[in-house]
């Protein structure tokens, strides 16, 4: 992570164009100081929403100020290390905000920027951040607000990124998770949903996934909300099943199938809503099996 940040920072030292940064991410906001002569740096912010916390619930990067190494102080956390922060020593994080998303209502799927109400099809704080970044960009290039509202109101994620499917009359949400933060965002969405549901977690350890899957121990499987059953699959199906068991989930409600096709068939033996998390190389094979079952049914 640090290597990537440093490479981007090096490029920005001679950059004078528009730079749009998430002020709630200390690893991103720091890039605004790469070139002190750039007058075109714009920060966006997302206000506290109902599921924000006063403490970090997971492992997160960027706990310390990148300029004076003082531990950052947070007013609240949205997820991972994303939230409203400031350095108590050098005031890092206290930037002028160009665009701010407020009045976030995930139930109604709405939020406001500059007194304009945006209605969207997704109910994730992660998506709100993406849309706030997009609106910030559109504003700089004078895109008509009505056009933005229409675009966001009709935009639907697909290809396994918070994608919504209906399979055998069963509502299904599938999302990619390449690291603990991605997995925890999916679980946060699951926990915000009060309906009864089942979780399907597919974990591979192929070369591009990273053969070390110890990152699964930083996933928050504790205190899952109204989850009836968990099914696991993939080359490390038993590893993720053990992690979930150690988290305190009833082991009699955990089913593990190394064979993906068999796992999907077992998953849809009832019509309880499904939340599906798959890591990098398992995402598309999992999605293919789901679509095969969808069009067969």
Look at residue 59 in the predicted model and tell me its pLDDT. 64
Q: What is the pLDDT of residues 44-54, one digit of tens each?
A: 999 999 999 99
Give the chain's mean pLDDT. 95
pLDDT over threshold 80, residue 184: yes
Domain regions of the chain by residue span: 2-154, 163-296
Q: How confident is residue 65, by pLDDT bands cut at 50, 70 and 90?
A: very high
Look at residue 297 in the predicted model and tell me its pLDDT. 64
Give the whole-angstrom CA distance, residue 289 versus residue 276: 12
Q: How confident is residue 159, by pLDDT bands cut at 50, 70 and 90?
A: confident
Look at residue 197 in the predicted model and tell me its pLDDT. 98
Average pLDDT of the residues in 12-19: 98
Average pLDDT of the residues in 30-56: 95
Q: What is the pLDDT of residues 78-129, one digit of tens each?
A: 988 999 999 999 999 999 999 999 999 999 999 999 999 999 998 889 899 9
For every residue of the chain, which 3-state class applies, written as one string? CHHHHHHHHHHHCCCCCCEEEECCCHHHHHHHHCCCCCCCEEEEEECCCCCCECCCCCCCCCCECCCCCCECEEEEEEECCEEEEECCCCCCCCCCEEEEEEEEECCCCEEEECCEEEECCCCCHHHHHHHHHHHHHHHHCCCCHHHHHHHHHHCCCCCCCCEEEEECCEEEEEEECCCHHHHHHHHHHHHHCCCCEEEEEECCCCCCCCCCCHHHHHCCCCCCCCEEEEEEECCCHHHHHHHHHHCCCCHHHEEEECCHHHHHHHHCCCCCEEEEEECHHHHHHHHHHHHHHHHHC
CATH of 163-296, one of 3.90.190.20, 1.20.1250.20, 3.20.20.70, 3.40.50.300: 3.90.190.20
Look at residue 296 in the predicted model and tell me its pLDDT. 85
Average pLDDT of the residues in 163-187: 94
Q: How confident is residue 61, by pLDDT bands cut at 50, 70 and 90?
A: confident
Average pLDDT of the residues in 133-149: 97
Share of residues in the chain with pLDDT > 70 (%):
99
């Amino acid at each position: 992570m640090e290597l990537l940040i440093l490479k981007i920072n090096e490029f920005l030292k001679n950059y004078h164009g528009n730079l749009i940064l998430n002020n709630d991410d200390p690893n991103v906001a720091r890039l605004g100081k790469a070139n002190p002569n750039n007058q075109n740096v714009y920060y966006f912010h997302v206000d506290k929403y109902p599921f924000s916390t006063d403490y970090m619930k997971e492992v997160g990067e960027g706990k310390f100020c990148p300029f004076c190494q003082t531990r950052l102080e947070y007013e609240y956390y949205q997820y991972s290390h994303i939230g409203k922060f400031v350095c108590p020593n050098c005031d890092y994080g206290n930037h002028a905000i160009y665009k701010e998303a407020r009045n976030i209502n995930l139930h109604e799927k709405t939020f406001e920027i500059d007194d304009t109400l945006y209605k969207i099809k997704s109910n994730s704080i992660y998506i709100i951040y993406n849309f706030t970044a997009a609106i910030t960009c559109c504003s700089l290039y004078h895109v008509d607000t009505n056009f933005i509202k229409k675009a966001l109101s009709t935009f639907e994620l697909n290809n396994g990124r918070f994608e919504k499917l209906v399979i055998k009359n069963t509502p299904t949400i599938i999302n990619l998770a390449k690291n603990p933060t991605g997995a925890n965002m999916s679980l946060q969405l699951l926990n915000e949903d009060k309906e009864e549901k089942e979780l399907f977690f597919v974990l591979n350890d192929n070369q591009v996934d990273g053969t070390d899957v110890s990152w699964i121990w930083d996933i928050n499987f504790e205190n899952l909300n109204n989850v009836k059953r968990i099914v696991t699959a993939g080359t490390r199906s038993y590893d993720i099943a053990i992690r979930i068991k150690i988290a305190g989930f009833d082991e009699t409600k955990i089913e593990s199938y190394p064979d993906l096709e068999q796992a999907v068939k077992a998953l849809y033996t009832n019509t309880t809503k499904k939340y599906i998390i798959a890591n990098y190389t398992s995402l598309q094979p999992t999605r293919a099996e789901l679509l095969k079952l969808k069009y067969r049914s």
